[in-house]
Amino acid sequence: MAQKAAKSLAARNASTLNRTHLITLSLHALFLTLNFLFNRPSALLRYCLLNLPALAIEFYLERLGRPHYSLQDGSLKSAGEDLGASGLTEYMWDILYWTWICMGAVCVLGDWAWWFYVAVPVYSVYLGWTTFFGMKKGLAGFAGGSSEVQSSGGSGGASKRQQKLEKRGGQRVQYR
């Protein structure tokens, strides 16, 4: 049963990588054809710089996910890693897709569409910012609470229901 799963993963990875290479080749051919047709040599530097991360990611995904077969009998030696995995692999696919969208936009709208690529680092900074401050806020409860809560009689950390009960004088909640 494990061999069947490995074979299906190998087939899925191979088809995904072949499709990815075909789309990348088509987009690069279209861009270069339009670039040389309209004689825009200044766009080549931006093209090289902004496609370099996507090409590096595509090369890494190729090395990571391409199945390996034995030369003697053609049996599957390694199915490769799952290219549909979440986490870092998922983010790499997102960058690759966004690069394709930017290249298509540049082909249709012109060179100014490379500015769409700015969304990647802006989104990364946003994720980092919210993760850091969300974690900082979440870890603040582990420090024993703030001094304001402790000096205000202890009801600052209580839920709304507990605060209402304390106002009415019933069921006093004690905090340790």
The C-alpha atoms of residue 41 and residue 54 are separated, in whole angstroms, by: 21
pTM, 2 dp: 0.65
pLDDT band of residue 159 (cuts 50, 70, 90) is confident
Strand partners, 68: 78
Assign 3-class secondary structure to 145-172: CCHHHHHCCCHHHCCHHHHHHHHHCCCC
**pLDDT average, residue stretch 74-88:** 83
4 Cβ neighbours under 8 A, 6+ residues apart: none
Which residue stretches of the chain are H helix? 2-37, 43-65, 88-109, 119-139, 147-151, 160-168
Residue with tokens 């670039």: 35
In three-state secondary structure terms, 15 is: helix
Per-residue pLDDT tens digits for 10-60: 888 889 999 999 999 999 999 989 888 887 777 788 888 889 999 999 999
pLDDT band of residue 112 (cuts 50, 70, 90) is confident
| C-alpha separations of 9 from 30, 34, 75, 86, 152 in Å | 31, 37, 14, 15, 60
Q: Burial letters for 109-129: b for 16+ Cβ neighbours within 10 Å, e otherwise?
A: eeeebbebbeebeeeeeeeee
Element (DSSP H or E) covering residue 76? strand 76-78
